[in-house]
Amino acid sequence: RRPRHPATRELRVRTRGHPRFGSIDMGAGGDSKDTVDANGDGHVNITKEILTDLNVHVSSNTPSKPPQGFAKPDAAEPAAPAPGQTGGFGSTSTFAPDATTGTAAKVSLRPLPKRQLWIVKVPKPPEDHGVAEAAGEPSTTRRIAALEAEIAALDARVRDANQARDAARTHLAKARVRAGETSAAIKAASAECEPARARLNELNAMDRRVRDARRVVGFDSAAAVEAEIARAESRMNHESLSVQEQKRLLREMSKLRAKRPEAAALESMFRELENAKEERARLGAELRAARDASEPLREKQQMSRKIVDHYKRAADAAVDDSAKAYAAKTARVTDVKRLRKEGYEARKARRETAQGREREEWLLARRTYGEARDLLSRGNFAEAEAACLKQMEHVHARLNTDAGYRAKYLEGLRRDRAEREEAAKAAIEADAEATAKALADATAAALEAKRVAAAAEASREKEQKERARAEKEELRRRAKEERAAADAAVAEDVRHFAEDVRHLHEGRRSRPPPPPAPVLGPSKIAAALARALDEHEEDAPPASLNGASISTQNSRADPPDPGTTDAERRDKNAEKKRRRRERAAAEREAERARLEAHERRDEAKSEERAMRRRGAAGGGAGV
């Protein structure tokens, strides 16, 4: 089997062969065996050059390794070439049985080698091939840059115009609100003056009707009509008139009599107007005062309208400017798209021209590969071999004659190898990352399990401590209850003893009931009080000549009563001393009972502590 190298592409197709030999696996991959490094025309050995550039050692004098399953042929029996075997590029070595020699017996005992077809591998042109050829024209690039700068300026203009529009609309809304408030105030003032205005309009209309009626009637009052009628009758009665004149006067008199009601109504209306003259003047003055008072509001309304008009014009101007700038920007964007499309079409055409031959070679290799597989699937091995040989001769001929294509070919092979190495490296890195991630996950899981176990242990310890603390609290509570019960019993005993003493003293003498038993205080205070009383009794001064005490304390406590005798005072003092002695004795007895109670409580505590120690010692020994 010949060694593979990157300049060839392996073709492996299983076809159904002769029934005697079974299936034949045909593969591709090998190098051409040129006998010399240069031919008579001066062409170089392309295969050797390619393999040398790719750091693959090759020698035309190195014999090829025999196919798998075949031993090295003896010198006496050289292997016979198969039909169709040719030398040079794309040669295919096959072995066929020969009935005239002993090789048939050897071949029948060994598996046949895989029949192989060879085609030249053509690297796929890169997607960015021909970048220099596909670069845009400098003039087009400059035009696009200039248009983009204009588009940026127009964008800024549109943005500024929109901001100005928004600001103007904000101020416009505020100005409209203020104008509405002013208009509402003016309307409110006008509504207040509406009754006076309506009355004044009514009087003015009556005045106009009076003037119109005066022009129609010709008289101001019914008396004037009667006077005119009387004058006409006087002429009729006292003057000598012609018949025509008399008829004219009669017609006038009849007309005057017809005007009597109108004249009377006119007179009443005129009289009413005369009576309402002062009212008209007052209403007019009120309306003028109201109009003068609302004049500042009207001026404010005019100013508000001017402000509204100003901001409305500013907003409209900003909208128009934004629309014009946006239209100009849209036109320039369209121009940029058109120029880019034209540049893309030009670059595409140049790229297709630059990539044409390389892509054709790549597509030819793919078509040859597909045709060979189809021919082999139908059993046409000879036609498939001819197609592969044709492709190999074509590619090798071009590599021999075109140095530029040969350089690109080598670059493509290096690129393919680099891509494979990168893919393998990426796969290794991905595996390493997955392994590291799995290790990190396992470590994290172990740490989490350890943390959970530690937390559970801490929880158990905490529960045990809480249980021990609860037991101690229960023991303290019980001891406290016992001490309280003992103190209560002692207090009850003291109370009973005090009552017994009191009853005893009451039985000995008949006197008012003594005061209640004193409240037992601290033992030291009660003892000090008893000692002070005893010392006071011992240190009491002697009585005077008449039997009265001369101490300052007794003199302050018992001032001399001129109505009592010395014997009565002595009895009274003796009674007081006796009471003090009894009170001191009761306090001493209470102190003694209290001390006994304290001693009993201390003994109970000592016994409790001893029991606890015995219990703890027993528990430890048991554990």
Could you tell me where the DSSP H helices lie in 119-137? Answer: 131-134
What's residue 355's pLDDT? Answer: 63
β-strand partners of 118? 10
More confident residue, 24 or 131: 131
Q: How far apart are CA 176 and CA 315, in angstroms?
A: 14
- Alpha carbons 71 and 67: distance in angstroms, whole number: 8
Which pLDDT band, with edges at 50, 70 and 90, does 326 fall under?
very high
Mean pLDDT, to the nearest integer, of 245-260?
75
- Which sign does the torsion angle of CA 121, 122, 126, 127 carry? negative
pLDDT score, position 561 = 56
Average pLDDT for the chain: 72
**pLDDT value, residue 452:** 92
Which pLDDT score, from 0 to 100, does residue 588 have?
86
Q: Which long-range contacts (CB under 8 A, 24 or more apart) does 177-180 make?
A: 178/304, 178/307, 179/301, 179/304, 179/305, 179/307, 179/308
Q: What are the tokens at 570?
A: 């002595």
Position with higher pLDDT, 111 vs 163: 163
Both tokens of 583, joined, read: 């009170």
Minimum mean pLDDT range among 81-90, 456-465, 533-542 = 81-90
Rounded percentage of the chain residues whose pLDDT exceeds 90: 12
Taking phi first (over 0 means left), then psi (-120 to 50 degrees means alpha), and beta for anything else, what does residue 88 get? left
Alpha carbon distances (Å) from 169 to 308, 312, 317, 357 = 10, 7, 12, 65
Helix ranges (H only) for 276-402 are: 277-293, 295-378, 381-401
Q: Give me the pLDDT at residue 48, please.
A: 46
Which residues have C-beta within 8 Å of that of residue 470, sequence separation ≥ 6? none
Least confident among 106-115, 136-145, 201-210, 227-236: 106-115
Closest by CA to 579, choosing from 486, 505, 491, is 505
CB 253 within 8 A of CB 230: no
**pLDDT value for 320:** 92
Average pLDDT over residues 90-105: 41
**Domains of the chain, start order:** 8-124+373-430 (no CATH), 125-218+259-372 (1.10.287)
Q: Which residues pair with 13 in a beta bridge?
A: 26
Alpha-carbon distance of 284 to 280, in angstroms, equals 6
Q: Write the pLDDT tens digit of every residue in 343-379.
A: 888 877 776 766 666 777 888 888 888 888 898 888 8
225 burial (CB, 10 Å; 0-12 / 13-18 / 19+) is: buried
- What integer is the mean pLDDT of 126-147? 67
Sequential DSSP letters for 23-42: EEEE--------SSSB-TT-
Report the phi/psi class of residue 482: left, alpha or beta, with left for phi > 0 and alpha for psi in -120 to 50: alpha
| Half-sphere CA count of 102, side-chain side, radius 13 A | 5
Structure tokens at 581: 């002695």
Q: Which of 155-164, 244-253, 593-602 has the lowest mean pLDDT?
A: 244-253
pLDDT in tens, 505-514: 776 554 555 5
- Backbone torsions φ then ψ of 24, nearest 5 degrees: -120, 125
**How crowded is residue 193: how many other Cβ atoms within 10 Å of its Cβ?**
18
- Work out the average pLDDT over 155-166: 91
Q: How confident is the model at residue 427 (pLDDT cuts 50, 70, 90)?
A: very high
Q: How far apart are CA 264 and CA 92, in angstroms?
A: 148
| Residue 66 confidence (pLDDT) | 43
- pLDDT more than 70, % of the chain: 65
Q: According to the model, what pLDDT value does residue 250 have?
A: 77
Mean pLDDT for the stretch of residues 597-613: 83
Do 144 and 340 meet the contact criterion of CB atoms below 8 Å apart? yes
**pLDDT at residue 152 in the model:** 92
Q: 11: helix, coil or strand?
A: strand
Least confident of 83-97, 225-239, 313-327, 581-595: 83-97
| 545-554, 576-585, 598-607, range with the lowest pLDDT | 545-554
pTM over 0.85: no
> Two tokens at 34?
């040129």
pLDDT at 548 over 80: no
